[in-house]
Homo-oligomer: A and B are copies of this chain.
Amino acid sequence: MPRRTGRPRTAGASPTGRGTREDILHAGARLFCTVGYGSTSTHALAEVAGVRQATLYHHFPGKHAVLLELLLGTVQPSLDAARALLAGDEPAPARLWALCAGDVRLLRAGEDNLGALYLLPELDDERFAPFHDRRAELEAAYRALVAACGVPADDVVRTAALVLGLVESVILQRRRAPGTLDDRTADVVADAALALVGLEPAHRAAHAGTGRRLAAPAPAAAD
């Protein structure tokens, strides 16, 4: 059994077999989500990752870079899905359904609730600009699909913010009451999104059916 923590090594010999860089990211995710970002030192980060601090600094200039890479890892799969859906020619409500369901699944997945880090005030630092840029592109995708569903132009920004808010409320639910999340959550949220854009129940079912085929398959959920 390899030791997981407190065993400094110079480089390469990842005790988990995931590689040093992945070990550091994994340690960052765990510590930022349990101890807190501000309360996590690079010393603690190196210790939990099982590497020397010098090794940590060889891979990342500081803990902000670990956080940035974790954040980019949460938004990129979502953005890839959004780009594919925007380019599709299926009915807009079906594509919006698929975007919402896929994002809920991503927010539920993974061992740690990384979405909770979106609210950190530390993210205002310009070093996190690459994350904010990708988030802005994701928000624009939500607005484009909400508009394509026939929401009046004056209401698009507000309605898209509401839909994305409903999707991201999974972050809050996962923090507060993880037991209320299950395999049906993604469908329920995506159905509710179609209600928010004003679709009648009778029309929602068919779009949900198409959306289900378009949505990315569920990643491994955390439980």
Is the Cβ of B135 less than 8 Å from the Cβ of A176? yes
Which of chain B's residues has its CB closest to A123's CB?
A: B175
* B-facing residues in A178-192 (Cβ within 8 Å): 180, 184-185, 188-189, 192
Partner of A37, one of B36, B40, B166, B195: B36
For residue A69, CB closer than 8 A to chain B, the reply is: no
Is the Cβ of B175 less than 8 Å from the Cβ of A172? no
Q: What is the distance, in angstroms, from A112's C-beta to the closest C-beta of chain B? A: 10
Q: What is the distance, in angstroms, from A111's C-beta to the closest C-beta of chain B? A: 14
**How would you classify the secondary structure of chain A's contact residues: helix, strand, loop or mixed?**
helix
In the complex, which residues of chain B have a beta carbon less than 8 angstroms from the beta carbon of A33?
A: 121
Is the Cβ of A162 less than 8 Å from the Cβ of B189? yes
Tallying the copies of this chain within the complex gives: 2
Chain A interface, number of residues (Cβ within 8 angstroms): 42
Q: What is the distance, in angstroms, from A208's C-beta to the closest C-beta of chain B? A: 15
In the complex, which residues of chain B have a beta carbon less than 8 angstroms from the beta carbon of A120?
A: 36
Cα–Cα distance between A165 and B192 once the two chains are bound (Å):
12
Is the Cβ of A180 less than 8 Å from the Cβ of B166? no
Is the Cβ of B175 less than 8 Å from the Cβ of A169? no
For residue A170, CB closer than 8 A to chain B, the reply is: yes
Q: What is the distance, in angstroms, from A68's C-beta to the closest C-beta of chain B? A: 16
Is the Cβ of A166 less than 8 Å from the Cβ of B172? no
Cα–Cα distance between A3 and B51 once the two chains are bound (Å):
47
For residue A1, CB closer than 8 A to chain B, the reply is: no
7 contacts between A and B (CB under 8 A): A36-B37, A38-B40, A116-B121, A135-B176, A158-B188, A161-B180, A195-B195
